[in-house]
Amino acid sequence: MKYRIITIDGPAGAGKTTIANLLARQLGCVYVDTGALYRGVAYEIKHRAIDWENDECLEAFLADLDLNFLMEEGNLVLISSGKDITSCIRTPEITMQASAASARPQVRLALLDIQRNIAQKQEAVFEGRDMGTVVFPEAAFKFFLFADLSVRAKRRYEEMSEEQKDMQRVKQEMEKRDADDSQRKEAPLMAASDAIKIDSSSLTIQEVVDKILKNIQKA
Ligand code: DC
């Protein structure tokens, strides 16, 4: 790893993407939302009707997968085989499929190189579930962001469009996803032993960013 990498891991709705984006802007580097890559895999599985539970089908599909990011006006654009799929990957169905597919070791391996290649080229803030533990164990700074389930569910609910809004469902799906992401065998969601843990339940986004910056500056 040539450049300085900052990792932010944590459960859904802890504020990782917004915080990684803001932090990267303040540091003048890029941010990488690795969950979007798992969502891209889920989108293609659905779109191409892949039998992803069958090893052979999954492996053939992954060999053909062509995912990458573009940065447009400070925001990430997810490109799959030349097509912008950014606006297609945030539905509840894709969310649950991304979590399910992320438990397959072949999927994790296929995405590992994409993530590490980005880190070879530039300084970056990477956010996800296994950034500090598996993908960048030697990162310069590691953070683990968490918050109460009810606070995280409320944040996600507020981001949803009127027709998608269903608090009970948001909470249930978030709880299931947290459990699945934490209990899977491959690269489960957990804090690296050397990560700084931040509870964002009662903090504003800027307060979290300031805490992270303070830790980076004092090192
Ligand atoms: O961060 P997100 O909600 O967009 O992530 C979607 C799913 O992708 C998440 O439930 C688990 C998986 N994921 C992962 O396994 N490892 C990562 N580094 C990022 C996401």
User: How many angstroms separate the CA atoms of 202 and 136, rounded?
Assistant: 29
Backbone angles phi, psi at 191, to 5 degrees: -80, 140
User: What is residue 164's predicted lDDT score, i.e. its pLDDT?
Assistant: 78
Report DSSP state, residue 193. T
User: What is residue 74's predicted lDDT score, i.e. its pLDDT?
Assistant: 81
Contact predicate 143/9, CB 8 Å: yes
User: How many angstroms separate the CA atoms of 146 and 200, rounded?
Assistant: 6
What does each of the 219 residues of the chain score in pLDDT, given as a tens digit?
556 999 999 999 999 999 999 999 999 999 999 999 999 999 999 999 999 999 999 999 999 999 999 989 888 999 999 999 999 999 989 999 999 999 999 999 999 999 999 999 899 999 999 999 999 999 999 999 999 999 999 998 988 878 778 899 999 999 999 999 999 999 999 999 999 999 999 999 999 999 999 999 987
Supply 176's token pair: 């299931």
User: What is residue 2's predicted lDDT score, i.e. its pLDDT?
Assistant: 55
Ligand 1 atom at minimum distance from 12 CA: 3
Contact predicate 80/131, CB 8 Å: no
Ligand 1 atom at minimum distance from 17 CA: 1
Supply 156's token pair: 């996600």
List the one residue out of 149, 156, 146 whose CA is nearest residue 200. 146
User: What is residue 211's predicted lDDT score, i.e. its pLDDT?
Assistant: 97
Residue 177 in contact with ligand 1 by CB distance below 6 A? yes
Residue 12 in contact with ligand 1 by CB distance below 6 A? yes
Residue ranges per structural domain of the chain: 5-208
- The number of residues in the chain equals 219
List the one residue out of 147, 146, 143, 130 whose CA is nearest residue 195. 143
User: What is residue 1's predicted lDDT score, i.e. its pLDDT?
Assistant: 54
Judge: domain 5-208, CATH 3.40.50.300. Answer: yes
Upper half-sphere CA count for residue 178 (Cβ side, 13 Å): 18
Contact predicate 134/195, CB 8 Å: no
Q: Which residue has the tokens 């989108």?
A: 43
User: What is residue 161's predicted lDDT score, i.e. its pLDDT?
Assistant: 78
Nearest CA to ligand 1 atom 14: 129
Ligand 1 atom at minimum distance from 103 CA: 15
